[in-house]
Structure 1
């Protein structure tokens, strides 16, 4: 699905002054966005284990044992070790609550270990999450969908944006009764924008696993152009 949106536009005409020889040509400044909706073909899952114990070493040992189960679950799900990366590892004291003027004190320690895993088979994403939880993970921080290769979609988004920029520049020129000159300035920016979830067929195909809908991602490219206005 292709879409193109106009973000902003500005028109500047030369001022009529006694010093006309110093005036610059009129300028027409426009911004246009080209968009392409794509279906994700991969995802990353952040999951991990939080444990508490009286000492830091006990908390870490308990956490390590549980994390071994997490790594085993990811391996059974067919995820390569090179697609798993530790994203957070912390040991923090647990403090008592402040009450009746008593000084707060350390009552134990909390160990947190989080990994980010790449999942290429989206049909198994829900089952993978279930396996993580059943193997010891007690923290799922989020699922992020992505596209392995967005080069073709990004190219189309650029073409959409350029076409919209040209069309809008000509529309303004005709409406104002002016003639466009050359393109004086040009720049680009862009990125992903998530779309509302709409992948019900994928949710049904996961059977009894945790339902996860990939929906769509929008690749957008915004361009900015400045045209000269002929006298």
Structure 2
């Protein structure tokens, strides 16, 4: 029985070797296409932080000032559906550590943050000014974005494909090989993260708080596997 099994194993080895030899060689490559685009919208995170002896007092004071913030956003032309509460917290305020004394709660801090979507970028500086004037004492950041990036993404795809083809042909010539068909293909991509927005001077924001939108990068990365012909 053992001899029969060994014989069967020996007989199957040439077939497995032949199959492995028939596997085509592969050339795997990745390529990225990028397009620089001027953003057409932004989101602003702002809010109010208040402190009081009790949690109820802190929240009440915060609510009053936040109502003024909502009114300021409405006066700036921001639609209600473009405003979203992104953070609401009430936290105790502790006394400083002192040797021989235990820390104790001295009051409470209420924080309320909203994210507003601004589609008129020329009004962005004025919107920030209105928020601060209404009582917002936190401006946590501005993120620029592209509302409709279909055209830019299509251009990035075309650039990525052109780069993939050019690189594949370069390697084929350098390695003296003949490429066959495309065996595998996949895509990934998205907007490159932007650095934190600094309040840099920009002429198109008049006397309002100066904000520079700059540009965003729309990128698409593709991966292709080509067959190497004998």
Task: Check the 8 A contact 1:196/1:215 in 2, yes or no.
Answer: no
Q: How far is 1:126 from its partner?
A: 0.5
Q: How far is 1:20 from its partner?
A: 6.2
Residue 39 of structure 2 corresponds to 40
Residue 10 of structure 1 corresponds to none
- What value does the CA root-mean-square deviation take over the aligned residues? 1.5
Residue 155 of structure 1 aligns to a residue in which SS?
Answer: helix
Q: Which protein has the larger Cα radius of gyration, Structure 1 or Structure 2?
A: 2
Q: How far is 1:144 from its partner?
A: 0.5
The count of corresponding residues between Structure 1 and Structure 2 is: 209
Residue 122 of structure 1 corresponds to 121
- Say if 2:20 is the partner of 1:22: yes
Residue 192 of structure 2 aligns to a residue in which SS?
Answer: strand
Q: How far is 1:95 from its partner?
A: 0.9
More helix by share: 2
Q: How far is 1:98 from its partner?
A: 1.5
Q: How far is 1:230 from its partner?
A: 0.4
Residue 140 of structure 2 corresponds to 141
Residue 14 of structure 2 corresponds to none
Residue 215 of structure 1 corresponds to 214
Structure 1, residues 9-67: CA drift from partner, whole Å, max 9, x if none? Answer: xxxxxxxxxx5652332110100000111110110000000000000000000000110
Residue 226 of structure 1 corresponds to 225
What are the ranges of 5 or more consecutive residues in structure 2 without an aligned counterpart? Answer: 1-16
Q: How far is 1:149 from its partner?
A: 0.4
Residue 206 of structure 2 aligns to a residue in which SS?
Answer: coil
More strand by share: 1
Q: How far is 1:196 from its partner?
A: 7.8
What are the ranges of 5 or more consecutive residues in structure 1 without an aligned counterpart? Answer: 1-18
Instruction: Name the CA shift for 1:127/1:114 in 2 (closer, same or farther; >3 Å).
Output: same
Residue 103 of structure 1 corresponds to 102
Residue 51 of structure 2 corresponds to 52
Residue 87 of structure 1 corresponds to 86
- So what's the TM-score if we normalise by structure 1? 0.87
Residue 7 of structure 1 corresponds to none
Task: Check the 8 A contact 1:37/1:218 in 2, yes or no.
Answer: yes
Task: Check the 8 A contact 1:30/1:225 in 2, yes or no.
Answer: yes
The separation in 2 between residues aligned to 1:214 and 1:206, in whole angstroms, is: 11
Residue 170 of structure 1 aligns to a residue in which SS?
Answer: helix
Q: How far is 1:101 from its partner?
A: 2.7
